[in-house]
Amino acid sequence: MRQGVTFRRVKAQRSRAPRWWAGALIATAVVVFTLVAPSDFAGAQTEPDETQAVKEAPERITTLDDLGFGDSAAFGAAAQLDFFFSGSGDYEIGDGSRLVVDLTHSNLLDPEQSAVAVAFNDRPLRAIQLDETNITGGSYEIAVPADLIEEDFNKLSFTFNMTTGLFCESSAGAALFATILGSTFFEMDFADDPPIPVLQDPNLSQYPYPFFRPGYPIVAPVIIGIPDNPTGDDLTAAYQLATGLATRVFFELDLVRIRRVNTLTDD
Protein backbone atom coordinates (compact mmCIF):
# COMPACT_ATOMS: atom_id res chain seq x y z
CA MET A 1 0.00 0.00 0.00
CA ARG A 2 1.33 3.43 -0.81
CA GLN A 3 1.95 5.73 2.08
CA GLY A 4 0.78 9.27 2.52
CA VAL A 5 -0.37 11.68 5.13
CA THR A 6 -4.03 11.17 5.30
CA PHE A 7 -5.68 14.23 6.62
CA ARG A 8 -8.44 16.20 5.02
CA ARG A 9 -10.57 19.17 5.97
CA VAL A 10 -13.97 19.54 4.26
CA LYS A 11 -15.59 22.86 4.98
CA ALA A 12 -18.91 22.28 3.24
CA GLN A 13 -19.59 18.69 4.29
CA ARG A 14 -17.31 16.60 6.45
CA SER A 15 -16.68 12.97 5.75
CA ARG A 16 -13.41 11.67 7.05
CA ALA A 17 -12.10 8.19 7.69
CA PRO A 18 -8.36 8.48 7.04
CA ARG A 19 -5.95 5.66 7.70
CA TRP A 20 -3.25 6.88 9.97
CA TRP A 21 0.38 5.98 9.59
CA ALA A 22 2.72 5.28 12.44
CA GLY A 23 6.29 6.24 13.18
CA ALA A 24 8.70 7.63 15.73
CA LEU A 25 11.42 10.26 15.97
CA ILE A 26 13.98 9.90 18.72
CA ALA A 27 16.55 12.45 19.89
CA THR A 28 18.79 11.67 22.86
CA ALA A 29 20.20 14.31 25.18
CA VAL A 30 19.34 13.84 28.82
CA VAL A 31 16.03 12.37 27.81
CA VAL A 32 14.68 10.66 24.72
CA PHE A 33 11.82 12.43 22.99
CA THR A 34 9.58 10.30 20.80
CA LEU A 35 6.51 11.10 18.74
CA VAL A 36 4.31 8.08 18.11
CA ALA A 37 1.29 8.20 15.80
CA PRO A 38 -1.44 5.63 16.39
CA SER A 39 -1.97 3.15 13.58
CA ASP A 40 -5.73 3.57 13.65
CA PHE A 41 -7.23 6.72 15.13
CA ALA A 42 -10.98 7.23 15.11
CA GLY A 43 -12.48 10.67 14.85
CA ALA A 44 -12.38 13.65 12.55
CA GLN A 45 -9.38 15.98 12.44
CA THR A 46 -9.69 19.65 11.63
CA GLU A 47 -6.04 20.39 10.78
CA PRO A 48 -2.84 18.48 10.01
CA ASP A 49 -2.01 17.11 13.42
CA GLU A 50 1.59 15.97 13.37
CA THR A 51 4.73 15.86 11.29
CA GLN A 52 7.78 13.70 11.26
CA ALA A 53 10.74 13.12 9.00
CA VAL A 54 10.19 10.56 6.29
CA LYS A 55 12.38 7.56 7.14
CA GLU A 56 11.99 5.88 3.76
CA ALA A 57 11.42 7.46 0.39
CA PRO A 58 7.69 8.10 -0.06
CA GLU A 59 5.86 6.66 -3.03
CA ARG A 60 6.33 8.57 -6.24
CA ILE A 61 2.59 8.44 -6.94
CA THR A 62 -0.07 8.66 -4.23
CA THR A 63 -3.78 8.69 -5.10
CA LEU A 64 -6.70 9.77 -2.96
CA ASP A 65 -7.68 6.10 -2.98
CA ASP A 66 -4.30 5.31 -1.42
CA LEU A 67 -5.03 7.84 1.31
CA GLY A 68 -8.32 6.10 2.05
CA PHE A 69 -10.68 8.78 0.77
CA GLY A 70 -11.93 7.52 -2.57
CA ASP A 71 -14.33 9.82 -4.43
CA SER A 72 -14.86 12.99 -2.37
CA ALA A 73 -17.86 15.24 -2.94
CA ALA A 74 -18.24 18.96 -2.27
CA PHE A 75 -21.69 20.49 -1.84
CA GLY A 76 -23.07 24.02 -1.86
CA ALA A 77 -22.37 27.35 -3.50
CA ALA A 78 -18.95 27.60 -1.84
CA ALA A 79 -17.02 24.59 -0.59
CA GLN A 80 -13.47 23.44 0.00
CA LEU A 81 -11.76 20.05 0.15
CA ASP A 82 -8.26 19.70 1.63
CA PHE A 83 -6.03 16.62 1.42
CA PHE A 84 -2.61 16.01 2.94
CA PHE A 85 0.15 13.98 1.31
CA SER A 86 3.51 12.81 2.64
CA GLY A 87 6.40 15.17 2.10
CA SER A 88 9.70 14.53 0.37
CA GLY A 89 11.57 13.85 3.61
CA ASP A 90 15.34 13.83 3.15
CA TYR A 91 15.08 13.24 -0.59
CA GLU A 92 15.88 15.85 -3.23
CA ILE A 93 13.05 16.75 -5.60
CA GLY A 94 13.40 17.25 -9.36
CA ASP A 95 11.42 19.51 -11.67
CA GLY A 96 8.81 17.02 -12.93
CA SER A 97 6.39 16.76 -10.00
CA ARG A 98 2.73 17.02 -10.91
CA LEU A 99 -0.89 16.66 -9.91
CA VAL A 100 -3.47 14.84 -11.99
CA VAL A 101 -6.98 15.92 -11.00
CA ASP A 102 -9.98 13.81 -12.02
CA LEU A 103 -13.43 15.27 -11.39
CA THR A 104 -17.12 15.24 -12.24
CA HIS A 105 -19.94 17.63 -11.34
CA SER A 106 -23.64 18.37 -11.47
CA ASN A 107 -25.14 18.72 -14.94
CA LEU A 108 -27.19 21.71 -13.73
CA LEU A 109 -24.28 24.04 -12.95
CA ASP A 110 -23.97 27.29 -14.86
CA PRO A 111 -20.67 26.85 -16.75
CA GLU A 112 -20.09 30.59 -16.95
CA GLN A 113 -20.09 31.00 -13.18
CA SER A 114 -18.96 27.64 -11.79
CA ALA A 115 -15.32 26.67 -11.28
CA VAL A 116 -12.86 24.97 -8.95
CA ALA A 117 -9.48 26.44 -7.99
CA VAL A 118 -6.62 24.03 -7.29
CA ALA A 119 -3.95 25.10 -4.79
CA PHE A 120 -0.87 23.31 -3.49
CA ASN A 121 0.43 24.37 -0.08
CA ASP A 122 -1.82 27.43 -0.35
CA ARG A 123 -0.41 28.58 -3.70
CA PRO A 124 -3.08 28.63 -6.45
CA LEU A 125 -1.98 26.60 -9.46
CA ARG A 126 -5.01 26.40 -11.75
CA ALA A 127 -8.72 27.19 -12.10
CA ILE A 128 -10.92 24.63 -13.84
CA GLN A 129 -14.27 25.62 -15.32
CA LEU A 130 -17.13 23.28 -14.45
CA ASP A 131 -18.87 23.02 -17.80
CA GLU A 132 -20.33 20.48 -20.23
CA THR A 133 -16.87 19.08 -21.10
CA ASN A 134 -16.32 17.55 -17.66
CA ILE A 135 -19.82 16.74 -16.39
CA THR A 136 -19.20 13.01 -16.71
CA GLY A 137 -15.48 13.24 -16.09
CA GLY A 138 -12.48 15.41 -16.80
CA SER A 139 -8.77 14.87 -16.15
CA TYR A 140 -6.28 17.73 -15.71
CA GLU A 141 -2.49 17.58 -15.33
CA ILE A 142 -0.98 20.38 -13.26
CA ALA A 143 2.76 20.94 -12.81
CA VAL A 144 3.96 21.39 -9.21
CA PRO A 145 7.12 23.52 -8.81
CA ALA A 146 9.87 21.83 -6.80
CA ASP A 147 10.12 24.77 -4.40
CA LEU A 148 6.50 24.21 -3.35
CA ILE A 149 7.06 20.68 -2.05
CA GLU A 150 7.58 20.48 1.70
CA GLU A 151 9.62 17.85 3.52
CA ASP A 152 6.98 16.89 6.11
CA PHE A 153 3.54 17.10 4.48
CA ASN A 154 1.88 18.80 1.52
CA LYS A 155 -1.63 20.22 1.33
CA LEU A 156 -3.76 19.91 -1.79
CA SER A 157 -6.81 22.21 -1.76
CA PHE A 158 -9.87 22.45 -3.99
CA THR A 159 -12.02 25.58 -3.64
CA PHE A 160 -15.39 25.40 -5.38
CA ASN A 161 -17.77 28.13 -6.50
CA MET A 162 -20.96 26.60 -7.90
CA THR A 163 -24.28 27.99 -9.08
CA THR A 164 -27.13 27.01 -11.36
CA GLY A 165 -27.61 30.66 -12.26
CA LEU A 166 -31.23 30.61 -11.13
CA PHE A 167 -32.72 33.64 -9.40
CA CYS A 168 -33.03 33.30 -5.59
CA GLU A 169 -31.03 30.10 -5.66
CA SER A 170 -30.39 28.39 -2.34
CA SER A 171 -26.70 28.21 -1.44
CA ALA A 172 -27.34 24.66 -0.24
CA GLY A 173 -29.32 23.54 -3.28
CA ALA A 174 -29.19 19.84 -4.13
CA ALA A 175 -27.97 20.64 -7.65
CA LEU A 176 -24.77 22.25 -6.35
CA PHE A 177 -22.18 19.51 -6.15
CA ALA A 178 -18.91 18.35 -7.62
CA THR A 179 -16.75 15.29 -6.97
CA ILE A 180 -12.98 14.89 -6.87
CA LEU A 181 -12.40 11.28 -7.91
CA GLY A 182 -10.25 8.87 -5.94
CA SER A 183 -7.99 8.41 -8.96
CA THR A 184 -6.67 11.96 -8.45
CA PHE A 185 -2.97 11.72 -7.59
CA PHE A 186 0.17 13.61 -6.60
CA GLU A 187 3.42 12.47 -8.21
CA MET A 188 6.79 13.48 -6.78
CA ASP A 189 9.71 13.60 -9.17
CA PHE A 190 12.84 12.64 -7.25
CA ALA A 191 16.18 14.00 -8.45
CA ASP A 192 17.74 10.51 -8.20
CA ASP A 193 16.41 7.13 -9.29
CA PRO A 194 16.27 5.35 -6.95
CA PRO A 195 15.94 8.24 -4.49
CA ILE A 196 19.06 8.97 -2.42
CA PRO A 197 18.54 10.67 0.96
CA VAL A 198 20.44 13.84 1.78
CA LEU A 199 20.82 13.43 5.52
CA GLN A 200 21.56 16.24 7.93
CA ASP A 201 21.96 16.09 11.68
CA PRO A 202 18.89 17.43 13.51
CA ASN A 203 19.38 20.97 14.75
CA LEU A 204 17.79 20.99 18.18
CA SER A 205 18.26 24.76 18.42
CA GLN A 206 15.20 24.88 16.15
CA TYR A 207 13.15 23.03 18.77
CA PRO A 208 10.38 21.83 18.51
CA TYR A 209 11.86 20.88 15.14
CA PRO A 210 12.56 18.23 13.95
CA PHE A 211 9.63 16.78 15.87
CA PHE A 212 6.79 19.19 15.09
CA ARG A 213 5.90 22.05 12.80
CA PRO A 214 5.00 24.97 15.10
CA GLY A 215 1.42 26.19 15.00
CA TYR A 216 -0.30 22.88 14.30
CA PRO A 217 -2.27 20.96 16.94
CA ILE A 218 -1.23 17.46 17.95
CA VAL A 219 -3.61 14.62 18.66
CA ALA A 220 -1.16 11.71 18.69
CA PRO A 221 0.38 10.77 22.06
CA VAL A 222 3.61 12.58 22.91
CA ILE A 223 5.98 10.21 24.71
CA ILE A 224 8.97 11.54 26.64
CA GLY A 225 11.45 8.76 27.33
CA ILE A 226 13.60 8.74 30.45
CA PRO A 227 16.47 6.40 31.43
CA ASP A 228 15.58 3.07 33.01
CA ASN A 229 16.85 4.35 36.36
CA PRO A 230 16.14 8.07 36.18
CA THR A 231 17.76 10.56 38.49
CA GLY A 232 16.12 13.69 39.76
CA ASP A 233 17.89 15.64 37.03
CA ASP A 234 16.49 13.28 34.39
CA LEU A 235 12.94 13.80 35.64
CA THR A 236 13.44 17.56 35.81
CA ALA A 237 14.75 17.60 32.25
CA ALA A 238 11.75 15.57 31.06
CA TYR A 239 9.30 18.01 32.59
CA GLN A 240 11.25 20.97 31.20
CA LEU A 241 11.07 19.38 27.75
CA ALA A 242 7.31 18.93 28.07
CA THR A 243 6.86 22.50 29.29
CA GLY A 244 8.99 23.90 26.48
CA LEU A 245 6.99 21.95 23.92
CA ALA A 246 3.68 23.12 25.37
CA THR A 247 4.70 26.76 24.90
CA ARG A 248 5.39 26.23 21.19
CA VAL A 249 2.90 23.63 19.97
CA PHE A 250 -0.75 23.27 20.98
CA PHE A 251 -1.72 19.87 22.35
CA GLU A 252 -3.89 18.36 25.06
CA LEU A 253 -1.90 17.73 28.23
CA ASP A 254 -3.46 14.32 28.72
CA LEU A 255 -1.63 13.19 25.59
CA VAL A 256 1.75 13.53 27.32
CA ARG A 257 3.35 10.29 28.53
CA ILE A 258 6.62 9.79 30.44
CA ARG A 259 8.04 6.30 30.01
CA ARG A 260 11.27 4.45 30.66
CA VAL A 261 13.33 3.85 27.54
CA ASN A 262 13.23 0.07 27.91
CA THR A 263 9.44 0.14 27.57
CA LEU A 264 9.48 1.91 24.19
CA THR A 265 8.93 -0.21 21.09
CA ASP A 266 8.65 0.41 17.36
CA ASP A 267 4.88 0.00 17.74
135 inside domain:
yes
pLDDT of residue 219: 55
Q: Where are the beta strands (DSSP E) in the chain?
A: 8-10, 26-28, 32-35, 61-63, 72-75, 78-86, 98-105, 115-120, 123-129, 138-143, 153-161, 177-180, 185-187, 222-226, 256-260
- Asked, for residue 29, whether it belongs to a domain, the answer is no
In a domain, 230, yes or no: no
Dist CA 149 CA 143 (whole Å): 12
pLDDT of residue 80: 97
Distance of CA 252 to the CA centre of its chain: 20
Q: Are strands 222-226 and 256-260 parallel, antiparallel or unpaired?
A: parallel
3-state secondary structure of 72: strand
Res. 194: pLDDT tops 50: yes
Residue 238 within a domain: no
Domain limits for position 65: 57-187
Label residue 208 exposed, middle or buried (CB < 10 Å: 0-12, 13-18, 19+): buried
Decide if pLDDT at 240 tops 90: no
Q: Indicate whether 75 pLDDT > 50.
A: yes
Number of domains observed in the structure of the chain: 1
- The structure's pTM equals 0.60
For residue 122, tell me if it sits in a domain: yes
- Bigger pLDDT: 198 vs 34: 198
Confidence of residue 211 (pLDDT cuts 50, 70, 90): low
CATH number of the domain that residue 167 is part of: 2.60.120.260
Better-predicted residue by pLDDT, 52 or 229: 229
Domain assignment of residue 46, yes or no: no
